Structure 1
Amino acid sequence: MTLLWIAFALLLLPALWLLVAPLKRARAVHDAQRDHETNDRSADQNVAIYQRRLASLEAAFERGDIDQASFEEDRLALERSLLEDTERLKRAPLKASASGRLAVPLVMLAVVVASVLWYQHEGAEGDLALMAVRQEVMSDPEGSPEMLIERLEEQAARQPENPNVWSMLFPLYRDGGQGREAIDALERLIEIEGRHPQLLAQLAQIEFFVAGRRLTDRVQELVDETLEKNSSEPTVLGLLGIEAFDRGAYQEAIDNWRRAIAGMSDPASGEALRQGIQIAQQRLGQEPEGDVAVEEEPQGPGILARVSLDEELAGRLDDNTPVFVVARDMAGELPPLAVARLTLGDLPTELVLDQRHAMSPQANLGQVEQARLVVRVSESGQATPQPGDMFGQRGGVAVGDTDGEPVEIVIDSVVD
């Protein structure tokens, strides 16, 4: 920031020099003007011209070329013309060459102050401060998202009207599981930037997940407002697809996710939704579109898990009963970070959960250091728990390399 102000000072120097430069020539200009006024013979020339014209007019009157009335009228016109010419030649007293010098420092000060105030209002000083904060945290050996959030919160207190502060804080809060703080930051951004569809869609999405994946009245209002402004907004359509999927309306989820994918500018960002469509089609008993994504090599950080069924629960359900393995953030405020589908006959088995299993572009296992695993055997095939479903869960599971020992998860409970 110091270098910036030094650069401004260097840019102001030529402007200040242009204000001072005329003072150096003030004496010479004053003397030249005084000499010009002293030697000016314009008044004498005007009087001589008047006298010649008057003599000519008198001669014409004596010859009888004009009558008395015409003579008087023409003489009056000559006198009026002489007075006008003489009036224009009158000059104000010439001021001293040193007069007005005190105004120059005042003007220079005004230029500097006006430049600083204009830059503070229209310039990007705040954005430069944000960039400096980010670079400082990134270069710090102990830098972390928490440190960046703390520094950005300090900037938010200093420049609360800068939308870039809130646009940087919002994803940090969201990805860090601070749902309420993310909502506050996004609402502040909307207050500054206006109710744009993409911002309203993000607010609806975070409100949806903070509310436990429920379509509350508040979320519905935001969804309606967003779709009124942009009926193909992909974030809201993806949200509606997740909500429909959770209540078992798989065809509705498929339709919303297809519309969401069609509105995405980046085709790659719709891959998670395509996988969701395949899962929904499987639950409807349909042949999934395309090939179900299966990759030998893991993608990004993940979890190696071993899922088994407690012996006391064996034989309660058919081997074809769906089994859903879901990874969530510890606070439960983000979309599912990963979802895998098995059958009861596959157990016991080992599987890797990673970014291939993300249900939303905004949430994947790479965003967290720890996750909570929930395994549920769903006799009805519904995404929401039903009485009689069997389940098992484990919290605080580290996310990282998938080459070590698997995390054991035993299905040992029944939903009442």
Structure 2
Amino acid sequence: MAFWQGVLILGALGAVFVLWPIFRLPISRGLAAKTIRRDITQADLYQEHLADLNKNLANGDIEQDQYEALKIELQRTLVSDSAGLKEVEVKSGGKLLLVGVAITAPLLAVFLYLQWGAKGDWDIHQIMQAERDNPATTQEAFEASTKELLMAVRSRLKQKPDNHQMRYLLAERSMALKDYDEAIAAYKKLLEVEPGSPTMSIKLAQALFVRGGSKVTPEVAHHTNVAVNGAPFMYQALEMSGLVAFHNQDYKNAVTFWQRAKAQLDPNSRSAQALDGAIMKAARAGVASEQAMSDGDSVAATADSQESPNVDRGFDLDVKLAEGLQASPNDTVFVYARAWKGAKMPLAIARMTVADLPKVVRLDTTMAMAPGMDMSTATELELIARISKSGTPVPQSGDWQGALGPVVLGQGIEAKSIVITDKIP
């Protein structure tokens, strides 16, 4: 709405700028209006001069040949003045053309702006701003918002196919809606623009991995290798490289990759503990494989190697009410984690009632509302515990909540707690 209001205001100002001098002109030329019939005055003057010539000829003041020459000169003067008047009259008709320009120019400008301007970017910005102002706390609301955004992004890419920021947004949100084909196509387009990009390579590998039912294919392995070679300390690349190595029964390298990934986490965090389990599983598989090979029987080790370890990242959060806070036992409580900065969509969420409090709530990467949008995608997290009087996920006046942040996943935040103390005005 604000966009079209601005268009109308600018269009009106432009029309006034063009039309005001046109309609003001007759007022400022009041005296000149008396000369509209100047052609009649010229004819009268001609007759007067001709009468004077005839009188001078009759009185003998001039000869006949002088009379004829002066008469011809007088006629030429009349013709010249009449031609000048006609030219001025034709020019005065340009007023209609200027009025037409004043009306059509703003309309043409709006049309061209819609075709070539940044209106599409503005629409996308408005949708994302609405997401930040009213974050979705249900899968249905998130999907509806994401579908609306994707429609706007696809439309914008038809106008500007080289807008790489829009294409990246298309890939990320397509992953969130489990449209893996569209996400993979978008990541591949981005890799064409920036070949060998570690970020795009690992995201493409993850998308292929998920679409293939969590199976490591040669294509997944290729893009994972590109990512880890380009960014040897990227956590996602190390974690995925461990899975690829484990799948290929390269247990030694699987242990190496996961150990390097674990080095980036708090040793006491649950994420580090999950990686510890994966490392131990790979180490045992390696020992079993070597033993089986030495015994001439590798069947058991091979069967064990096909089962990918469960590597998740999460933490426990102690949620409690402030002393003296009165709330109905049936009121709904939402506990969720979201990015400290950026989009406010929950990356993990749990639901309970006030009667359940105090309670230790588990939040981890398996509780994501959509694939590719879990807690591991945020550098810093904000943790929220909120009592909803209406039972709806959207914050409303009168709700109570507690917040904690910024916190970093895997850095001891499992020992933290949230106390619900603040009332939303």
Category of TM-score, reference length = shorter chain: 0.3 to 0.5
Q: Which has the higher helix share?
A: 2
Q: Give TM-score scaled by structure 2 length.
A: 0.42
